[in-house]
C-alpha cells in the first residue's frame, strides 16, 4: 500500500515538474497570469469565448493535478506514520516471523523455533556461525506437527561457550518411514529496538534483525 501511494504521488509530482519545465509555469503562476489577463482585456474586444473556456480547462487540470498530488502525499505520510507507530508499539512484545536466525546472549539458553508440516520421529537442528560453519548439532527427538522448539545452551559441539550474536540454523526432520518432513524455520523473541532509517521499520531481537512487514504474530511480554 505504501509503495503504491508513494509511486502515485511521485508520478503526480513528476507531471507537475514536467509542466513547469515545458511552460515555465506552475499552478500559482498560471492562476496569476489568467487573472491578470482578465483584468487587462479590452471590454470592447473581449477574449474569444473558446479560448477563455480552453484556459479555464487548463487551469482546472493544473488544480486537479496539484490537489491529487497533495492528497496522495498526505496519504503517504499517514501510512508512514502508522508503520512507525506500529513498530514502536512492538518494543517489549514477543513477535514471530519466518526466518532462520536465532539470537544468542552468552550465558542464556536460546530457543530455536520451527514448524513441522506433520509429526516427525527425529528432528535435528544445525547451528552455524557467521562464516557458515556448523558449530552445534542438536537432536530434538520426536516432535508433533505444528510449532516446535529446541533449547540451545549456547555452547559448541566441544562444550565451549560461544560469543553473543546472531546465528543461523537449519532444520532436518524425518518421519517414521524415513521420509523427509517439511519444516519452516521461525524467528521468535522479544523486540528490544526499532530502526526507522529505511523505508520500512526494522525490528531488533538482540542481534537478529527483521522487517516489520515479515511479522506474522505478536503476543505480550516475556
Residues 133 and 155 in one domain: yes
How far apart are alpha carbons 81 and 78 in whole angstroms?
A: 5
Pick the more confident residue, 171 or 34: 171
Question: What is the per-residue pLDDT for 208?
Answer: 96
From residue 189, alpha-carbon distances to 91, 112, 131, 160, 174 in Å are 11, 10, 23, 24, 26
Residues 25 and 121 in one domain: no
pTM for the complete prediction?
A: 0.62
Residues 66 and 11 in one domain: yes
**The last residue of a domain, from among 88, 116, 135:** 88
Give the three cell numbers for residue 2.
505504501
From residue 165, alpha-carbon distances to 70, 102, 108, 222 in Å are 45, 8, 12, 20
Question: What is the per-residue pLDDT for 2?
Answer: 36
Query: Which tens digit of pLDDT belongs to each residue from 1-45?
Result: 334 434 444 444 555 555 555 555 566 776 677 677 666 665 555
Query: Which tens digit of pLDDT belongs to each residue from 184-222?
Result: 999 999 999 988 888 888 999 999 999 988 999 998 865
Residues 100 and 195 in one domain: yes
Residues 169 and 200 in one domain: yes
Query: Which tens digit of pLDDT belongs to each residue from 40-76?
Result: 665 555 555 566 566 666 666 666 666 666 666 655 5
Residues 18 and 68 in one domain: yes
Residues 83 and 103 in one domain: no
Question: What is the per-residue pLDDT for 26?
Answer: 63
Domain interval for residue 104: 94-219
Classify residue 138 by burial, with Cβ atoms within 10 Å: 0-12, 13-18, 19+.
middle
**The last residue of a domain, from among 58, 88, 118:** 88
Amino acid at each position: 500500500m505504501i509503495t503504491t501511494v508513494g509511486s502515485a504521488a511521485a508520478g503526480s509530482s513528476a507531471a507537475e515538474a514536467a509542466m513547469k519545465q515545458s511552460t515555465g509555469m506552475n499552478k500559482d503562476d498560471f492562476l496569476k497570469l489568467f487573472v491578470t489577463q482578465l483584468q487587462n482585456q479590452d471590454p470592447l474586444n473581449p477574449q474569444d469565448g473558446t479560448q477563455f473556456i480552453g484556459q479555464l480547462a487548463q487551469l482546472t487540470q493544473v488544480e486537479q493535478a496539484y490537489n491529487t498530488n497533495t492528497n496522495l502525499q498526505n496519504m503517504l505520510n499517514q501510512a508512514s506514520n502508522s508503520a512507525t507507530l506500529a513498530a514502536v508499539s512492538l518494543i517489549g512484545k514477543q513477535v514471530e516471523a519466518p526466518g532462520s536466525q536465532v539470537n544468542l546472549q552468552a550465558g542464556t539458553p536460546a530457543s530455536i523455533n520451527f514448524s513441522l508440516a506433520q509429526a516427525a520421529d527425529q528432528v535435528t537442528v544445525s547451528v552455524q556461525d557467521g562464516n557458515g560453519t556448523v558449530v552445534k548439532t542438536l537432536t530434538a527427538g520426536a516432535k508433533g506437527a505444528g510449532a516446535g522448539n529446541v533449547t540451545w545452551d549456547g555452547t559448541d559441539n566441544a562444550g565451549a561457550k560461544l560469543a553473543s550474536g546472531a546465528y543461523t540454523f537449519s532444520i532436518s526432520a524425518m518421519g517414521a518411514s524415513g521420509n523427509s518432513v517439511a519444516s519452516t524455520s521461525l524467528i521468535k523473541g522479544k523486540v528490544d529496538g526499532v530502526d526507522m532509517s529505511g523505508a520500512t521499520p526494522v525490528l531488533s531481537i538482540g542481534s537478529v534483525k527483521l522487517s516489520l512487514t515479515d511479522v506474522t504474530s505478536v503476543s505480550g511480554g516475556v
